[in-house]
Structure 1
Amino acid sequence: MTETRPDPVDERLPRLRAALRDADELLVCLDFDGTLAPIVADPDDAATTPATGAALRTLDATPDVTTAVVTGRSLADVRWRVDPPDVYAGNHGLELAREAAGSVAVHPVARKRASRVEKVCAALGLALDPIPGCRVENKRLTGTVHLRSVPRAARPAARRLTRRVLDRLDDDSLSLSAGKAILEVRPDVPWGKGDAVDLLASSHPGDPLVAYVGDDVTDESAFRAVEPEGIGVHVGDGPSVASCRVDSPAAVASLLHWIASVFAADEPVGEGAVVPASLR
């Protein structure tokens, strides 16, 4: 699939409505930052809005719907930021918590390389300390260099230093990737958000229609996992392999309420069908 500018979601509503009406079960996977929560300068301040929180609770309470938050944040971080969905997939799916079962699974290679992530994060903290606004976060299984508060002129230097530290300390067991104003250090294993979504879908007791909503480059593997049989919704205006887009977390809230209404058959069919104003 090639990344293009997705269609506005209101242009895809007839297709989405038909898919939801035909489905017996639904698996809705959602990114956190930029999707359920607006992007903020300090990641520690990120929180769902009342509207997105309410929409997720409505969807989660809908019969035959499974909800999952799939995020680059660690489980320990995201769990207190959003009311419990059915599943949390933290660190890009390297750790998976199923709330009903009370179980947590961790990718075995990621667990073994956690000490290397810790070592690299400590070295990055020292190397990047002179760069204003730069912060290194150790998420146990992965590490993040936050650049959003770094002056744009200093970001190239931060990227060079990060690459230099990783090259000096690691033996190719870790990889470096870029997201929106971040650099991420991860175990060099073929696993990402798309793999986590595939696992959730394949381990589901039924055969659900799968939807994924996200805003970052790390979400593209998840869009590829669900499209074209499922529903991929990109948040924002950039290129994506998702089939449709919304503008913001506020529009995500409206979309989730609409999905719950259509799937539960509470929305009238035909001319009386309700389309959220923010999605028209």
Structure 2
Amino acid sequence: MSDLDEAVRAIARVPVLLVALDFDGVLAPIVDVPSDARPLPTAAAAIGSLATLPDTTVALVSGRGLADLAAVSGFGSPIRLIGSHGGEFDDGGAALDDAQRERLDRLRAELHELVDGEPGVRLEEKPAGIAVHVRNAPADVGERVFEAVRTGPASWEGIEVTPGKAVLDLAVLQVNKGLALDVLRERTKPDAVLFVGDDVTDETAFLRLRPGDVGVKVGPGETAAEYRVPSPPEVATLLQELLAVRSSLHG
């Protein structure tokens, strides 16, 4: 049995458990067209069953906007959905003051002008910000757009920037997955947290984990997570194992 298997079996037995997961690259393979992303059936079945167990909270914590996350994941209550890196919770959206709303209007106008006509570049509008996606853009276009964003809107006072894989997320309030995990922990009062993520944006959550928690990084790259798996199918296997052990406690 691997160290990760032992860690999963141990955390499955805690009285109150929080399972927090990124979506893209964790439950769903990365795809060229974001709207085509879907969770692996085995992973979806596992978390759907986990969420029905006593004293077990399952939450998706994604950079996607909340409505987009709900649409591609197909999940809803009792699975919790947190979008926009923690800027949107399923029990209430981002609340902006007048200054933040004005800043968001200016940000929206500037980014639309900046990326207009750039092939393969996509803007994703969110309640508290906008993400600039270049996954489907030629490399030189992506580099040029990102440089213009970094030296332009990303440098404005009051703009929070979250870099990810082929994406720059700009928000008018401070959001990150670590802060979102803190909110979830405060609301659910778990004895331990399992967090699984694949992107650099997930590192803020890995850094918030405490003794007894389990962090799992999916794929390559530097990470603060203690454990690693190569791809979403292995995440599905991990979740199935977690479900089997925890179900046996409540059978």
Q: 1:109-143 deviations in whole A, cap 9, x for unaligned? A: 6x862442343233222222232211112112121
Contact 2:154 2:161 in 1 (8 A): no
* Matched AA of 2:84: N
RMSD across aligned positions (CA): 2.3
**Within 5 A, what are the aligned runs for 1:131-210?**
131-166=118-153, 170=156, 172-189=157-174, 191-204=175-188, 206-210=189-193
Is 2:77 the partner of 1:94?
no
Q: Distance in 2 between matches of 1:161 and 1:130?
A: 14
Aligned counterpart in structure 2 of residue 261 of structure 1, from 241, 244, 251: 244
The 1:38/1:117 distance shift into structure 2, 3 A limit, reads farther
Out of 179-188 and 43-52, give the one that drifted further: 43-52
Q: CA deviation at 1:235?
A: 0.9
8 Å contact from structure 2 (residues 154, 160) kept in 1: no
Q: Are positions 1:70 and 2:42 aligned together? A: no
Q: Provide closer, same or farther for how the CA distance between residues 163 and 14 of structure 1 changes in structure 2, counting only shifts above 3 A.
A: closer
CA-CA distance at 1:16 after TM superposition: 3.1
User: Residue 230 of structure 1 aligns with which residue?
Assistant: 213
TM-score (norm 2): 0.89
Task: Kindly provide the amino acid, as one letter, of the partner of residue 43 in structure 2.
Answer: T
Closer/same/farther in 2, CA of residues 177 and 254 from structure 1, 3 Å limit: same
Conserved? CA contact 2:43–2:240, under 8 Å: no
- After the TM superposition, which parts of structure 1 deviate over 6 Å for at least 4 consecutive aligned residues? none
* 2:215/2:227 contact within 8 Å kept: yes
Measured in 1, the distance between the counterparts of 2:114 and 2:190 equals 49
State the one-letter code of the partner of 2:186.
S
Question: Secondary structure in 1 aligned to 2:18?
Answer: strand
Q: How many angstroms apart in 1 are the aligned matches of 2:109 and 2:232?
A: 33
CA distance in 1: counterparts of 2:133 and 2:31, whole angstroms: 12
Runs of 5+ in structure 2 lacking a partner? none
1:32-53 per-residue CA deviation (whole Å, 9 max, x = no partner) reads: 1111111111222222122222
Q: Secondary structure at the match of 2:10?
A: helix
Residues of 1 paired with 2:145 and 2:125: CA distance? 17
Residue type of the partner of 1:243?
Answer: E
Mapped pair 1:54 → 2:45: yes
Q: Percent identity between the aligned chains? A: 36
Structure 2 CA distance for aligned equivalents of residues 195 and 255 of structure 1: 25
Tell me the amino acid that sits aligned with residue 122 of structure 1: A
Q: Is 1:244 aligned with 2:227?
A: yes
Counterparts of 2:99 and 2:37 in 1: how far apart (Å)?
Answer: 30
**Which residue identity does 1:20 align to in structure 2?**
A
Q: Identify which range, 44-53 or 135-144, moves more after superposition.
A: 44-53
- Over 3 Å counting, the alpha-carbon distance change for 1:118 and 1:44 in structure 2 is farther
Closer, same or farther in 2 for the Cα pair 1:116/1:211, shift >3 Å?
same
In structure 1, runs of 5+ residues without a counterpart are 1-8, 98-102, 267-280
1:188 deviation in Å? 4.6
Aligned equivalent of 1:104 = 92
Contact 1:227 1:242 in 2 (8 A): no
TM score, norm. by length of structure 1: 0.80
> How far 1:93 sits from its partner (Å)?
0.9
Question: Does the CA contact (< 8 Å) of 1:58 and 1:257 recur in 2?
Answer: no
